[in-house]
Amino acid sequence: MSRAHDPSPPAAEPIASTSAPQAEPEGEHAAAMRRLADTMLRTALWPGIATVGIATVVAGLVVGLSGVLGALVGGAVATASSMATIGLIKWSRGMHPMAMMAVALGGYTGKILVLMIVMTLLTWVDALHPMSLALTMLATVLVWTAAEAQGFRKTKIPTIVPVAGS
Amino acid sequence: MSNIVLAQAADTAGAINPGLAAIGYGLGAIGPGVGVGLIWAAVINGTARQPEAQSQLMGIAWISFVLVEVLALIGLVVYFIASAA
């Protein structure tokens, strides 16, 4: 029987063509990377925000309004930069290591390029106190990184795989 | 005469040529770039030898990537301080 004369729609046809595509089940390695990224973000977010807040208060007391603005912008740039790396981990979690190398190097290059353009443009903004911006950015990046390293320790990923029976 | 020259040198000692700061930052970004490449080369080697250890190697690689990347960000901040002064 030809399908052209069959009035009933085929039962096995996918009906989800207009809805969201179903997500493929995540592999073991991808799940581990997602867990790592989530833990790093959870561990680093609040210390980072606290650092920006403290730096903003200190800059406000020492420099004034331009210091507050500089500290806020510096903290925002540092937070965005750190979160971009975590986003990169989550985005590339299912990739092959060779593709991930390209992603990591491309992400590094792109981030450094964008940050250099942003920082160069910020040197022309007179409303921002440069030293407040720079020191807040430095402090935020260092605190984020330390907290991310702490988050990595929390995931308990073994760095040495013990051999059974040894 | 030498006192005038020394006074002028002292006045300009705090200011760094912005172009020089940019070159210094570019040089400083090379090290982390090499580091990132070495990290992922090691991951590829390790995964080829022991594919089941991929997620462990990836986790170590990403946290190393973050630590190495901070060096470039510190260089960026130094460039900003030097060029904005």
For residue B54, name the pLDDT band (cuts at 50, 70, 90): confident
With pLDDT > 90 as the criterion, what percentage of chain B qualifies? 19
Q: Do A145 and B67 touch (CB under 8 A)?
A: yes
Q: Do A78 and B55 touch (CB under 8 A)?
A: no
pLDDT higher than threshold 70 for residue B4: no
pLDDT in tens, A144-161: 999 999 988 888 776 665
Higher pLDDT, B3 or B63: B63
> Which pLDDT score is estimated for A62?
94
B interface with A, Cβ–Cβ < 8 A, is 18, 25, 29, 32-33, 36-37, 39-41, 43-44, 47, 53-63, 65-67, 69-70, 72-74, 76-77, 79-81, 83-85
Q: How far apart are CA A126 and CA A103, in angstroms?
A: 36
Task: Report the candidate in B24, B75, B77 with the shortest Cα–Cα distance to residue A131.
Answer: B77
Q: Do A141 and B41 touch (CB under 8 A)?
A: no
> Which pLDDT score is estimated for B78?
87
Please give the radius of gyration of chain A, using alpha carbons only, rounded to the nearest integer. Answer: 24
The angle at the Cα of A73, spanning A71 to A79, to the nearest 5 degrees, equals 100
Q: Do B44 and A123 touch (CB under 8 A)?
A: no
Q: Would an 8 Å CB–CB cutoff place A89 in contact with chain B?
A: yes
Work out the minimum CA distance from A21 to partner chain B, whole angstroms.
26
For residue A68, name the pLDDT band (cuts at 50, 70, 90): very high
Q: How far apart are CA A158 and CA B44, in angstroms?
A: 18
How high is the mean pLDDT of chain A?
82
Query: Given A29, A105, A145, which is nearest B66 (Cβ)?
Result: A145
pLDDT higher than threshold 60 for residue A20: no
What value does the mean pLDDT take over residues B42-48? 90
A93, A33 in Cβ contact below 8 A? yes
A141 burial type by CB count under 10 A (0-12 exposed, 13-18 middle, 19+ buried): buried
ipTM above 0.85, yes or no: no
pLDDT in tens, A83-104: 999 999 999 888 888 888 889 8
Domains and CATH numbers, chain B: 17-84 (1.20.20.10)
> Which pLDDT score is estimated for B1?
55
Alpha carbons within 13 A on the beta-carbon side of A52? 19
pLDDT higher than threshold 70 for residue A129: yes
